[in-house]
Structure 1
Amino acid sequence: MDDQGQDQDQELTVESPRQYKALSHPLRQRLLLALGGRSATVGELAAAVDGRKSTVAHHLKVLQEAGVVRIVETRKVRGGGEHVYRRTARRITVAGRDAGPATALLGAVAEECAKAPEEPLMVLRHLRLTADQAARLGAALQALVNEATEAPEGEPVHGVLVALYEQSAPRA
């Protein structure tokens, strides 16, 4: 579907247990990635994630109840209704340290990368940084993502995953 996402919030910070639980399932992560900046029906999403409509509908309901997706349109089709879904925000950030959503997100990204038509760019680098250096790097990464402009509809969608974290100290 063609969609510019005008009524989409810029960012959603996940903080509630319901939101964490909703994001902890890999298929829900894949559905959010498939929605990206566009709207889609259950059928379109089922095709995008190679899943059954009933399974996709169930997971969309969980995401909707957590406030991560919403119904933006209902169409009449064959005597019934067909919902069109959209993410509530363009960016979803996770507060706290719960590993469940991060693990699910990384798993969903790994599946996307495995299906990418070209070799994805992935860099993992460990740096020793002062608190000030880490803050500046984090701000620069955030600005880079915020300032990226999107190409017109019809161009390929690219995933961008940015992470900056302090490693835990090794246990003695």
Structure 2
Amino acid sequence: MELRPGAYRVQHLKVLREAGLVRIAETRQIRGGTEQYYRRTARRIVVAEPQGAGTPAMFAAVAQELNHSPTETHLTLRHLKLSPAKAQQLGETLARLVDDAEEDADDQPVLGVLVTLYQQVGPTAGTA
């Protein structure tokens, strides 16, 4: 994953680095600057309370991985109207799908899976 220089990205990536969640995997000189390529340090990252600087950094990291994927990617955002009980059931089902996915041999490609379920903030004035 590559993150180009920029105060927003660099600051949030610093938070992930300091937390030990990413490490520099490679650097290269380009047009007078240095590009840094980062790699996760863990096979799985669970964000118990997604907020603050870590969440934008995680999404930026996922966006970079999507941009550099050598194969077709799948990204879907869907909004559902669900009761709290159904939302909890969906969250548990999604977590179980990821937890129960069996991995193949070490020589197979690594695929990233990002799962999130959240309640949207209600519409504000002037939005539909």
Bin the TM-score by the shorter chain.
0.5 to 0.7
Q: Which residue matches 1:10?
A: none
C-alpha distance in structure 2 between counterparts of 1:171 and 1:117, whole Å: 39
| 2:115 pairs with 1:115 | no
Q: Does the 8 Å contact 2:66/2:73 carry over to 1? A: yes
* Alpha-carbon contact 1:26-1:108 (below 8 Å) kept: no
Does the CA-based 8 Å contact 1:24-1:100 persist in structure 2? yes
The residue that corresponds to 1:144 in the other structure is: 97
| In 2, Cα distance between equivalents of 1:131 and 1:102 | 24
Distance 2:71 2:13 in 1: 26
Unaligned runs of 5+ in 1: 1-22, 35-41, 57-68, 70-85
User: Following TM superposition, by how much is the alpha carbon of 1:97 offset from its aligned partner in structure 2, in angstroms?
Assistant: 4.7
Percentage identity across aligned positions? 35
Q: TM-score, normalised by structure 2?
A: 0.67
Give the TM-score normalised by the residue count of structure 1: 0.51
5+ residue gaps in structure 2?
1-10, 28-34
Aligned match for 2:84, one of 117, 121, 131: 131
What is the SS of the residue equivalent to 1:92? coil
Distance 2:48 2:89 in 1: 19
SS in 2 for 1:129: coil
Determine the C-alpha separation between the residues in 1 that align with 2:111 and 2:122.
34
RMSD: 3.2
Q: What is the CA-CA distance between 1:28 and the residue it aligns to?
A: 3.9
Larger relative contact order (C-alpha < 8 A, sep ≥ 6)? Answer: 1
Aligned to 2:12: 24
Aligned residue pairs total 106
d(CA) in 2 for partners of 1:26, 1:167: 28
Q: Does the CA contact (< 8 Å) of 2:91 and 2:117 recur in 1?
A: yes
Larger helix proportion, structure 1 or 2? 1
Residues of 1 paired with 2:111 and 2:82: CA distance? Answer: 29
